[in-house]
């Protein structure tokens, strides 16, 4: 099947991976609190706008899963940017927890759909689901920093898995053969 646009998957995954890496390094307290500013800049542009564009290009390719995933997580990053930059969480201690709970529910059903894509994508979604569960509970009420830190470490693993999947997509297509396997499913 000939497509009108190049595969936007590697781009969307790269934007997701880098933004997730920076925010997760902050959540894991990897560099003693550094990373949030980098994550916010990326959340607006690379994780937000670029992923949203990747999602729109997936619609053109008639890839419902990719369109929904990239468009939605692009919107996640834009909304996250707004919550932090415009201090929208000032309304109560559960604002971030409720925000993350919605994304946990969304990620849960996307993980079920990801089971039919390929192993690399499925691993990204399993790790992301665990990340969201930990961050949701960790940000509920007064907060539980140990769960936020654990969520940060799972987020770092999610970023690595997403980078691998992005790399596999662009390298395999560029070389015209599988150099980095993603595993068949479904």
181 lies in some domain: no
Per-residue pLDDT tens for 11-22?
999 999 999 999
Domain that residue 121 falls in:
9-175
1 lies in some domain: no
146 lies in some domain: yes
Residue in 75, 84, 78 with CA at minimum distance from that of residue 26: 84
3 lies in some domain: no
pLDDT at 64 over 90: yes
User: What's the domain count of the chain?
Assistant: 1
Residue with tokens 């834009």: 78
Q: Which pair of tokens denotes residue 110?
A: 């996307």
pLDDT at 2 over 80: no
Angle at 68 between CA 155 and CA 77, to 5 degrees: 45
Quick one: 29 exposed, middle or buried, by C-beta within 10 A (0-12, 13-18, 19+)?
middle
pLDDT at 1 over 70: no
45 lies in some domain: yes
Per-residue pLDDT tens for 109-143?
999 999 999 999 999 999 999 999 999 999 998 77
184 lies in some domain: no
pLDDT at 186 over 80: no
Prediction pTM value:
0.95
- Give me the mean pLDDT over the 1-5 stretch: 74
């Amino acid at each position: 099947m000939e497509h009108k646009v190049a595969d936007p998957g590697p781009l969307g995954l790269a934007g997701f991976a880098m933004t997730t890496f920076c925010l997760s390094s902050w959540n894991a307290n990897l560099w003693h609190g550094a990373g949030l500013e980098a994550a916010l800049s990326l959340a607006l542009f690379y994780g937000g706008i670029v992923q949203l564009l990747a999602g729109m290009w997936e619609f053109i390719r008639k890839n419902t899963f990719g369109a929904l995933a990239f468009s939605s997580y692009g919107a996640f990053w834009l909304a996250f940017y707004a919550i932090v930059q415009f201090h929208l969480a000032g309304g109560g201690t559960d604002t971030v927890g409720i925000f993350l709970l919605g994304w946990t529910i969304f990620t849960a059903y996307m993980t079920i759909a990801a089971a039919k894509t390929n192993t690399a994508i499925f691993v990204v979604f399993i790790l992301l689901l665990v990340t969201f569960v930990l961050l949701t509970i960790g940000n509920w009420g007064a907060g539980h920093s140990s769960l936020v830190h654990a969520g940060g470490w799972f987020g770092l693993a999610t970023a690595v898995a997403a980078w691998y999947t992005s790399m596999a997509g662009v390298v395999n297509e560029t070389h015209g053969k599988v150099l980095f396997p993603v595993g068949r499913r479904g």
